[in-house]
Structure 1
Amino acid sequence: MLPAFLRHVRRFPWVTNVTLYGCLFAGGDLVHQWFSARDQVDWRQTRNVAVVAFSFHGNFNFFWMRFLERRFPGKSTGMVVKKLFLDQTTAAPLATSVFYTGQSYPIT
């Protein structure tokens, strides 16, 4: 069963990436709420986090990382530093801004 699952993951990397981002963001929000000792889980907040992750973060990061790997191929230290620098100076501020903007406009 695992080989069949992995075959689908390799065949549909975009779907896998978007699904993982959405589930990890929503799961992370639930764990954060649980550890912050709230009386009840705020499902609206978790839903908003999941919507932002599914609609933007999974898609953006899939295509951004693909662009970086094609534009700067290789695993040498210099290439990794270039990719890391571009990621942290370009993509990270954009992704953070989208996340906080998405959280500030709650879906009713």
Structure 2
Amino acid sequence: MKIVGVAACTVGIAHTYIAQEKLVNAAKKAGYEMHVETQGTIGVENALTSEQIQEADIVILAIDVKISGRERFDGKKVIQVPTEVAVKSPNKLIEKAVEVVNNQ
């Protein structure tokens, strides 16, 4: 399974990057490929490519603020949670994503 996501917290510093790291590690641990774009105080980093988005089975938005480029995910299955959920329960969030994909 391929997962893409965006992490963005209100301050755009700590939680953004912690959420990114926790999600990528949880996905890897579960055997999935995941790419997470961050949108913070220094702008967009690790920008998702249109190919990554197109190939993704699901999108996880771990966000506390409005993000730019959300329309890129139109037509995709999307789970949106606060960054705190991605930081505190990344494994459960990945499990939920798998559940959503499998219950098409």
TM-score range relative to shorter protein = under 0.3
The structure richer in strand per residue is 2
Structure (1 or 2) with the larger CA radius of gyration: 1
TM-score normalised by L of structure 2: 0.27
